Amino acid sequence: MRTDNGHEFQAKFHWHVEDVGIRHAYIKRGTPQLNGKVERSHRSDQQEFYQLLSYKGDVDLEAKLDEWERFYNFARPHGAHNGQTPYEALRDKLQ
């Protein structure tokens, strides 16, 4: 598993994943391009989800996040997958 150097991925997380047999490596500091797919996903989240929220009126953020995740993975075509959804791309890869 490769992550950035965010506080959420430091010692406690690092040793937990290592303990269950998952090798964890950090990308070089200041090089988000080494984590390009994740960074692109963050940009989509920002542009297509967070910017459309009204935080004063959006009480059930968790439900909205669940809905966004289902849409993003099962209904939204992705250029990186030749117009397929992530689900379709994974399904085809596993067949």
Q: What is the pTM of this model?
A: 0.69
- The model's pLDDT over 49-94, given as tens digits with 9 standing for 90+, comes to 988 887 666 678 888 889 999 999 999 999 989 999 999 999 999 9
pLDDT band at 10 (very low <50, low <70, confident <90, very high): confident
**DSSP string computed for the chain:** -EE---GGGSHHHHHHHHHTT---EEPPTT-GGGGHHHHHHHHHHHHHTGGG--TTT---HHHHHHHHHHHHHHTS--GGGTT--HHHHHHHHH-
Largest alpha-carbon pair distance within the chain? Answer: 45
